[in-house]
Amino acid sequence: MAHIVKNIAELVGHTPLFEFVRLEEKYGLKATVLGKLEYFNPSGSIKDRTALNMLLDAEEKGLIKPGDTIVEDTSGNTGIGLAAFAASRGYKLKIFLEEDQSIERRKILKAYGADVMFTSQVPRIKEAKEAGIFSMAFYQKAIEEYCAAQETKHFFINQMSNESNPNVHYSTTGPEIWNDADGKVDILVATAGTGGTITGLSKFFKEKNPDIRIVAVQADKKSRTGSSDNPKTIDGIAPFYGDDIRNEYKAPFMVSFEYDECIEVSGEDTYSTGRDIARTEGIFLGQSAAAAMVAAKQVAQRPENEGKNIVVILADNGMKYLSTQMYDK
Ligand code: PMP
């Protein structure tokens, strides 16, 4: 029977669960490390799931129709996913991006026909940043006001508080992992940006088995996006734990997701682990994926985890980071 794909929406999800056999052998890991290779999604990241689900839900609720302009605030991957689906479904797209994200993200967005603006070009955000009065609620309100002030309809799809974001991981990413691992999942390792992935997965796995341990990974202080003194930052993710991380800085899901342990990783370890995995396994990881693998290796070395299955969420691959010091050596 012929099997011909007619729309990129059909290519979202059902990504492979890959065992890092060579890495396990090289480092004598006690646990099995299974990576969910999310770069197999059509625009190359886990955020395709979120982007498509948010669009489908908004369409179903009659909030948008082809020809409308969709607006989003993103560190890149959600924007890239939205740009691909907007193109294939007949929407225009305006993306607000932080200036410090890798150049590849900007170029890919433009290739799909999206209109890219820096957040600092929104007058109220610029003023707030200069005055140091940043909060997530303020930021979202400023974009909402920007949308309302436009002559044509601008729909702010807002992954930060859109329930379709975590819901898609609860309904697709989690069940795919569960089925592919045949229900043998002991530990989940994931990073967080909006917190959508970990919110949906944590809920799914805790319902399946409350003993499944959720390990959430964040960049250490000097490796966070925006750190001016360190070129080795980890793009696409945000911190959620620590004295300096106030709730008003965080996206709503980042305040509420459930986890058992937070592991902080450095940009240096992330970059060297990314290069090591490319050369050991032939798997070319993006920054957050490599950061998750730094944590997964640590967890896999613990004697109490002997024989356990660790599932690691690998959000994207290395293509968008070729210009960074991770691979530009
Ligand atoms: N890794 C990368 C590369 C990302 O772009 C994102 C989303 N910004 C994440 C991880 C985190 O995903 P989430 O927004 O679901 O927390």
Ligand 1 mutation target, pool 38, 46, 203, 312, most atoms within 8 A of CB: 46
Residue of 164, 288, 308, 320 marked catalytic: 288
Burial 280-298 (b: 16+ CB within 10 A, else e): bbebbbbbbbbbbbbbbbb
**Sheet with 154-156, edge to edge strand ranges:** 115-118, 92-97, 69-74, 154-156
Contact, 143 vs 97, CB < 8 A? Answer: no
Annotated active-site residue 94? The verdict is no
Residue 58 has what pLDDT? 98
**Could you identify the residue written with the tokens 């200069």?**
130
Annotated active-site residue 227? The verdict is no
Contact, 12 vs 42, CB < 8 A? Answer: yes
DSSP string, 57-74: HHHHTTS--TTPEEEEEE
Answering whether pTM is above 0.75, one says: yes
Q: Looking at ligand 1, which residue's alpha carbon is closest to its atom 6?
A: 236
Ligand 1 mutation target, pool 15, 45, 47, 96, most atoms within 8 A of CB: 47
Name the phi and psi angles at 181, rounded to 5. Answer: -90, 5
What's the CA gap between 115 and 94, in Å, rounded? 5
Return the bridge partners of 213, or none.
Answer: 187
Position in ligand 1 atom list of the atom nearest CA 289: 1
Could you report the average pLDDT of every consecutive run of 10 residues in the chain (329 residues)?
Answer: 96 98 98 99 98 98 97 92 98 90 89 93 82 81 91 94 97 98 98 97 98 98 83 92 88 94 98 98 98 98 98 98 89
What's the CA gap between 94 and 92, in Å, rounded? 7
Structural domains of the chain ordered from first start: 8-45+163-314 (3.40.50.1100), 46-156 (3.40.50.1100)
Contact, 53 vs 168, CB < 8 A? Answer: yes
Name the phi and psi angles at 217, rounded to 5. Answer: -115, 135
Query: From ligand 1's centre to the CA of 101, what distance in Å?
Result: 13
Helix (H, G, I), strand (E, B) or coil at 60: helix
Residue 228 has what pLDDT? 66
The pair of three-digit structure tokens given for residue 227, joined into one six-digit string: 């750190």
Ligand 1 mutation target, pool 194, 235, 284, most atoms within 8 A of CB: 194
The pair of three-digit structure tokens given for residue 150, joined into one six-digit string: 């436009």
Residue 75 has what pLDDT? 75
* Helix (H) / strand (E) containing 115: strand 115-118
Residues with CB under 6 Å of ligand 1 are 45, 47, 75-77, 191-197, 236-237, 286, 288, 315-316
